[in-house]
Structure 1
């Protein structure tokens, strides 16, 4: 086809080639196998070290020469730096073998009615630089063939880096907005993407270190979908500002998802289609170590098929299902976690809270250590109190530090297996309905440190085991104690141990701290009602262990 040129700048600047990645010898079950054994304690550095290194390309644009085109296909077949400007009705194709190519977008509008606006079909490494002060627009065809390899407004079969200080507006009319079939790295610029399906997709890796990114997508917002390599399929957000409105998942990683900086805002699940609608999702491990993250999701706000480690990020989560869900293990040891709306607040087979500040509002269980195991460990409830004969599953809730505050309409602090509190502060504002309890543990429930305040209904009241190393008391009131009532706990000599102000109407209080001595009598005063309670003794019909309700 005859080519007419309006604005493509050719430079003699050559970029060093990149080393090709070895072929994978794993299978598509790699991600699911890794999820079952992943270490929840690993931090962002450890996750990155285990993945392939997605290096950003050099963004030098010096020494440019200009070649122009008005319509048709512009093919770039040699290494160099090319400046695109003006209007191109057609397509820019990079078919450069193993050569490195830089595209400098400088107030260019590229519109294709047949395929991608920019299609990198062969190159060593490609850099797209957004010129300072420029606004650039890419629009592709309204539909692609089912088996089309090139299927995004900006498509690259090679490693792709996008940076600079200008603006890039992408209209993915037929499928994805931006797709990188290897590694995709964004280092800067203002990038606005609307897409029929996924907004920005890096198959092996999607890394964001800077820039202001806005995505509106019918499918997933940001995604990396290679689930066949243990060191690929990951999303790594290190900085910048990311705003996502997605019909499917907000951010989806086939393997690992890491956030260490920047601001991430997600609204996920706007589609009516039968698709995953989670806020942040990983196939193996999610580590949220820094940055500010706000999620509104139709399904789980944060989800992993393996493990979730909340390690310093500031999270505000609103979920139609779970606030945070991990199939195998969930660890909170730093940062802030505010679940403002959820069905269940945090859920995993194994939950550990050792630090941070966590608040949960849930319409069902607040914290729920449970899972999909088909065979539970045989055994009945151990220790004093009610005892429900519930099976004890292979689940555990452990609190060693931090602050955990729960406002639940279902069970507040719930384990379908065992539970242990050794430190930290746990405050449970439990249910008003008698079919649930502020505390609910099927197996052994011990406390040896920290402070526990749990209030709620009395019909399913539960307390720690009588042989716990730290003393506790459980008081069931003759009537309902109104919300806003100050409940005072005093020792025999009149010393005030604690004052608890109710946030709901309650019938039962469980309290434990280093100030409570088992076997010692205390006075509990709620309004004009005063009663004597012996520490370590559950009231009639309550205490001991929960019923395992979910």
Structure 2
């Protein structure tokens, strides 16, 4: 059923874009059937299809109408029964209304709003609408259409919406050009059935959502497709919100919601940057996102195929309730509560950097949204840190439970009202797959937390942190099988964990006698002098987990700390460099899939 729905939606988008493109191509050949000149003294009409009553001009026939002039308190209304389009060329208008919407499409087969070349157009509505009947609720936007509407052209339109939405269509809204500047007390631009945008420059300041499609009674509608454009969005609610699917193919996006990542927001407020009720697909674009809520969110699936992202958020940077897949792109998360979260997370490619105040990458079931200001367990609540045997001697906070025999931490992490990093307990349906790409994590909570299993077959994964012993650089409940790629995970040793013995690539886990300050070089070399790793962690560390194809069974490796290295480091990793001046901390001989030395409070491998 999902495939059928997506196919039908894609066909609908293609049809809308075809119509809109055809309209845009015809713009320079438009010949107005009727010319309407607006004036506070009198509205004049040259041609047929329009009538005037006071300061209201009503268009009743299909055709092309050129409109210009100023109305301090008036309205342009379309009420046509014809089965053909009504084309309104805004040729420099300034329309305000003290009682209603300046532009009201009450009835039409389709309306095309053309912003004429080189023109500036302005509309401003009333703060309170006066309806003929008390039960009426239309129009409810400064530019309102009860039917399909297309906005095109290369001119500009500025909308000041004082009552509700800025630009709204109860059916489909397609925008293929122009410069739109919208300020609204609720939503900025809304196409109820669908919203399709290609090539416009849009600036929105809204107290509600900025771009929105909200049809919730038909699963084939309520979608948003953005082909290209420039978007500057400041929203009190969601930046871009689709009731069903949301697809972004290209564009430049500057999105801020609810005061940004440092703001404290109401827990009932949805103030996400980009949000889909079903499937969110991003194929390209440039994104600067600063949000009080999740930056990129889907109630079902998030797929990132490409794009450049700079993200700061008070909650999750990328969140999907069910599945999240990254196939490419440059993703830089500078601030987050949890960086990347879903029940199933797959990394196939991309260059990804995560900074998080809790878990960097978290696989857990359900929605674990947590915003700034949410109550968290304090260090005083956490009991005594674990000794080398990995058991707690303190009392868990109310509502938390021990993991039982062999467990070494309390489930119910920061986002779930318990100990940091605890997550939701063991769940075999939660997975993290590392198949490719570079993933670099700087976490205060768990670096990688799978309330289930982890599979790594390729790529480069680097984890810096945590520094608190109540969290671990790696944390999984079921298994962590590594068969390829390069893994470097450093952090505190109280909860340190290594990949599983069922892995096929060799792993070294070293717990040092003392914590090393951030930036202290870590160097591992073989007995014949071959460098296995030279790494500069960004945080203090005492536990080291390393796995790479270069580690061999039976070989002896020496671990050094401190010293210096020449060459250039990428994400802290030095390549083709020489290392000198370090202090030998320990050495080990690889005797199995996972070789562990040193005392630590964690569980080690499973």
Q: TM-score, normalised by structure 1?
A: 0.86
Task: Tell me how far apart the structure 1 counterparts of residues 107 and 91 of structure 2 sit (CA, whole Å).
Answer: 23
Deviation at 1:467, TM superposition (A): 2.7
Deviation at 1:54, TM superposition (A): 2.5
Once superposed, what is the RMSD of the aligned Cα atoms? 2.6
Q: Are residues 1:182 and 2:167 paired? A: no
Deviation at 1:543, TM superposition (A): 4.7
- Higher RCO (CA-CA < 8 Å; seq separation 6+): 1
1:489 match: 524
Structure 1 SS opposite 2:596: coil
Which of 299, 304, 307 aligns to 1:310? It is 304
1:127 match: 112
Deviation per CA, 1:197-252: give whole Å up to 9, x if none. Answer: 00000011111101211000010000000122222111111111011100000000
Task: Tell me how far apart the structure 2 counterparts of residues 174 and 400 of structure 1 sit (CA, whole Å).
Answer: 51
The answer on whether the counterparts of 2:453 and 2:479 sit within 8 Å (CA) in structure 1 is yes
Task: Tell me how far apart the structure 2 counterparts of residues 298 and 373 of structure 1 sit (CA, whole Å).
Answer: 16
Tell me which moved more, 134-143 or 300-309.
134-143
Distance 1:117 1:421, change over 3 A: same
The answer on whether the counterparts of 2:32 and 2:65 sit within 8 Å (CA) in structure 1 is no
Q: TM-score, normalised by structure 2?
A: 0.78
2:290 match: 296
Deviation at 1:490, TM superposition (A): 1.2
Which of 218, 223, 236 aligns to 2:225? It is 236
2:96 match: 111
2:481 match: 446
Task: Tell me how far apart the structure 1 counterparts of residues 360 and 500 of structure 2 sit (CA, whole Å).
Answer: 21
Structure 1 SS opposite 2:123: strand
Tell me, which stretches of 5 or more residues in structure 1 are unaligned?
A: 1-33
Structure 2 SS opposite 1:312: coil
The answer on whether the counterparts of 2:465 and 2:540 sit within 8 Å (CA) in structure 1 is no
1:161 match: 150
1:65 match: 34
Task: Tell me how far apart the structure 1 counterparts of residues 492 and 307 of structure 2 sit (CA, whole Å).
Answer: 34
Residues 491-506 of structure 1: matches in 2 within 5 Å?
491-506=526-541
1:99 match: 84
Structure 1 SS opposite 2:466: coil
The answer on whether the counterparts of 1:381 and 1:442 sit within 8 Å (CA) in structure 2 is no
Deviation at 1:47, TM superposition (A): 6.8
Which of 247, 254, 257 aligns to 1:265? It is 254
Q: Are residues 1:193 and 2:182 paired? A: yes
The answer on whether the counterparts of 1:76 and 1:96 sit within 8 Å (CA) in structure 2 is yes
Distance 1:508 1:50, change over 3 A: farther
Deviation per CA, 1:1-41: give whole Å up to 9, x if none. Answer: xxxxxxxxxxxxxxxxxxxxxxxxxxxxxxxxx8xx789xx
Please state which structure has a larger fraction of its residues in strand: 1
Task: Tell me how far apart the structure 1 counterparts of residues 305 and 255 of structure 2 sit (CA, whole Å).
Answer: 19
Residues 315-464 of structure 1: matches in 2 within 5 Å?
315-372=309-366, 391-464=426-499
Task: Tell me how far apart the structure 2 counterparts of residues 305 and 432 of structure 1 sit (CA, whole Å).
Answer: 32
Deviation at 1:442, TM superposition (A): 0.7
Structure 2 SS opposite 1:48: helix
Task: Tell me how far apart the structure 2 counterparts of residues 114 and 286 of structure 1 sit (CA, whole Å).
Answer: 39
The answer on whether the counterparts of 2:331 and 2:351 sit within 8 Å (CA) in structure 1 is yes
Q: Are residues 1:538 and 2:596 paired? A: yes
Deviation at 1:275, TM superposition (A): 2.5
Task: Tell me how far apart the structure 1 counterparts of residues 103 and 139 of structure 2 sit (CA, whole Å).
Answer: 10
Structure 1 SS opposite 2:552: coil
Q: Are residues 1:284 and 2:278 paired? A: yes
Task: Tell me how far apart the structure 2 counterparts of residues 327 and 85 of structure 1 sit (CA, whole Å).
Answer: 50
Task: Tell me how far apart the structure 1 counterparts of residues 166 and 405 of structure 2 sit (CA, whole Å).
Answer: 55
Deviation per CA, 1:229-284: give whole Å up to 9, x if none. Answer: 22211111111101110000000000011111110111012496743111100000
Structure 2 SS opposite 1:150: coil
Deviation at 1:63, TM superposition (A): 4.1
Structure 2 SS opposite 1:344: coil
